[in-house]
Structure 1
Amino acid sequence: MISAVLFDADGVIQRPTIDWWSRLTSFVPADGAAFVADLMAAEKPSLVGKGDFREAVAEVLRRWDSPVSLEDALEPWTWFAAEPLVVSLIAELRALGIGCHLATNQQAYRRAIMQDERGYGEWFDQTFYSCDLGLAKPDPAYFRSILGTLEIPASSVLFIDDNESNVAGARSVGLHAEVYDLSSGVDTLTALLRQYELL
């Protein structure tokens, strides 16, 4: 009997609105892919609340001698939008008494946009951002931390994510977990929830 569902953010409830990859690779004259890889590596500590993401991006820009301003470099992290049909599904589940929670890896800069500017907290019973927990998926400790807060058994929780390794991490601590990608359509998510008799 599932009493709570954990939803990942990127690729599950929200998608990019602009081609951020092309934008980021344009910030240096050559070897844009390596530059973006450097940015992604620099972001990792802030995903678990260590270091400042803005400072990390500024350091990468300096290292690559990029002429782009820090604010312009940060802009691609704002290029996302939630899928209204998924938000409606979450509201439907909550109306049926199913606890719905956000479980996402984010640094504090993006967390503020999601939670404070765009009101994601209103859609969920609780939100679990990796930067707040000091733990990130797929670490099993991330999921154990959430279970400790919710005070419910792992067997009563369904976790939905577009990343196979995150799903494996959830399953390793006893959660029901399924791979779902928003690109496959909201009907696929509806069908998944019906498999667990949640709708």
Structure 2
Amino acid sequence: MTLTTVLFDADGVIQRPTVDWRSTLASYVPPGRPAEEFFLDLMAAEQPSLVGKGDFRTAMAEVLARWESTAELDQVLDLWHRFAADDTVVAMIQELRAAGISCHLATNQQPYRRAIMHDERQYGAWFDQTFYSCDLGVAKPDPAYFKAILTAIDRPAGEVLFVDDNAANIEGAREAGLHAEQYDLDTGPAALRTLLTSHGLPLG
């Protein structure tokens, strides 16, 4: 079946951090406390808000209090702003759209980050539709996430390619019947172009 649609993940595919998250977070941990455990606690606290449950800011504040961190909440939240899209990848997506291929954003994000991406940085202008896990109420790698998108775009799974940097997400997409390929932005946009053209997608 000919591909008509591509779903793109955000972090690691379209955009990358502009700061070293781990070293920055480590500076917020009191002396003698394990920085890696602090990082994992923050990530765990974020999980409910990725599917639209709970308040992200409240969850982060609770972690800071639990760890007796001297960092201000806004200082930590600022890290979620520290990312940049790759212009070459964005241009590639526009090239596909101009050739008649539907392109959609498919990303796990909580409402705070969604507002940055969608409202402040206007990611919606780059895609036919955008699908944030916090809006769908389900997150990758759950196959239900992909099935919800298929319903929204009204396309059979066999016409859709999903690109993500996470192996578990790739497996979830394949379980839902999509074509899926793993790609990491650190390998360079040229590798993404090769991947897409290998599926017969119209890129020069």
Kindly tell me the number of residue pairs found equivalent between the two proteins: 199
- One-letter amino acid of the structure 2 residue matched with residue 20 of structure 1: W
Corresponding residue number in structure 1 for 2:77:
74
Corresponding residue number in structure 2 for 1:192:
195
1:16 aligns with 2:38: no
Corresponding residue number in structure 2 for 1:183:
186
1:127 aligns with 2:130: yes
Tell me, in whole angstroms, the C-alpha distance in 1 between the residues paired with 2:177 and 2:97.
23
Structure 2 residue corresponding to 1:166, chosen from 169, 175, 179: 169
Q: How does 1:9-88 map to 2 (within 5 A)?
A: 9-29=10-30, 30-88=33-91
The CA RMSD over aligned residues, in Å, is: 0.6
Structure 1, residues 36-64: CA drift from partner, whole Å, max 9, x if none?
11000000000000001000000001111
Structure 2 residue corresponding to 1:147, chosen from 146, 150, 169: 150
Task: Kindly state the Cα deviation for residue 7 of structure 1 after the two structures are TM-superposed.
Answer: 0.1
Corresponding residue number in structure 2 for 1:114:
117
Tell me, in whole angstroms, the C-alpha distance in 2 between the residues paired with 1:148 and 1:175.
13
Structure 1, residues 75-134: CA drift from partner, whole Å, max 9, x if none?
111110000000000000000010000000000000000001011000000000000000
Tell me, in whole angstroms, the C-alpha distance in 2 between the residues paired with 1:13 and 1:175.
20
Tell me, in whole angstroms, the C-alpha distance in 2 between the residues paired with 1:90 and 1:12.
12
Residue segments in structure 2 that go unaligned for 5+ positions in a row: none
Percentage of pairs with the same residue: 64
Task: Kindly state the Cα deviation for residue 73 of structure 1 after the two structures are TM-superposed.
Answer: 1.0
Tell me, in whole angstroms, the C-alpha distance in 1 between the residues paired with 2:87 and 2:148.
29
- One-letter amino acid of the structure 2 residue matched with residue 126 of structure 1: Q
Aligned residue for 1:101, secondary structure, equals strand
TM-score scaled by length of structure 1: 0.99
Residue segments in structure 1 that go unaligned for 5+ positions in a row: none
Tell me, in whole angstroms, the C-alpha distance in 2 between the residues paired with 1:11 and 1:89.
16
Task: Kindly state the Cα deviation for residue 197 of structure 1 after the two structures are TM-superposed.
Answer: 1.2
Tell me, in whole angstroms, the C-alpha distance in 2 between the residues paired with 1:114 and 1:25.
25
Tell me, in whole angstroms, the C-alpha distance in 2 between the residues paired with 1:25 and 1:133.
32
Corresponding residue number in structure 1 for 2:159:
156
